[in-house]
Amino acid sequence: GERRPVVVCQHGLEGRPRDLADPKIDSPYYHRFAARLAEEGFVTYAPQNPYIGEDRFRVIQREGHPLRLSLFSFVLGQHERTLDWLAGLEFVDPNRIGFYGLSYGGKTAVRVPPLLDGYALSICSGDFNEWVWKNTSIQSKYSYLLTGEYDMIEFNFANVVNYSDLANLMAPRPFMVERGHDDVVAPDEWVAYEYAKTRWFYDMKMKMPEATAIEFFSGPHTIHGQGTFEFLRQHLHWPP
């Protein structure tokens, strides 16, 4: 009869759920974090997101734009049904479902949980960014204009929001960023600059500074699983 908190653990580009959840696989990116959280007593679920198959999934983005849709329009629908299913399980507390994603899973963390009330918190790992610079610079080595991820260019995004605005939509629910100093998705300065606006919003506007956090750690594009695990324990009310 016990109902426990859930952490939805999301892989990145070209990932598979087993990379996170199989205790026999120690991926350099994920370090079995879904399995580790399960060992702590959380219910964990690792869904398959559609960003896999090299350029095949990017066709969805190209075909969606004329219909005012994006790849994440479909991911959003997927997670709506995921939350319905999880909430119906007899061992799940539907009020304590958190999200934790790395890389493209971090992109999901700022695009999906803010729009779905069923998520009690969200953690963005290895992705939080000054997204307008990231998508428009022709000089920075971090720019998506210089890489193969053309699916990252989202119609009219820069005129409407940036990552801090998406993160602020989580409020009053908790939101956290996990950032490795050696992560090549962006320099620390970009991440800190954009997160400062979210920190200001939670502190000054929402009067709840304890509901947001950022952890910088010495490491690359990977799940660190230290401050984030503590954040999950605190805000999903599951003591170690």
CA distances from residue 132 to 92, 128, 157, 233 in whole angstroms, order as listed: 38, 12, 8, 33
Give every residue of the chain whose pLDDT is below 70, as ranges: none
Task: Record the pTM.
Answer: 0.96
**Which pLDDT score, from 0 to 100, does residue 200 have?**
98
Closest CA to 190 of 214, 222, 156, 154: 214
- pLDDT digit string, tens, across residues 13-68: 999 999 999 999 999 999 999 999 999 999 999 999 999 988 889 998 889 889 98
| Residue 196 φ/ψ, nearest 5 degrees | -55, -35
Closest CA to 164 of 191, 188, 133: 191
Q: Evaluate whether 169 touches 114 at the Cβ level (below 8 Å).
A: yes
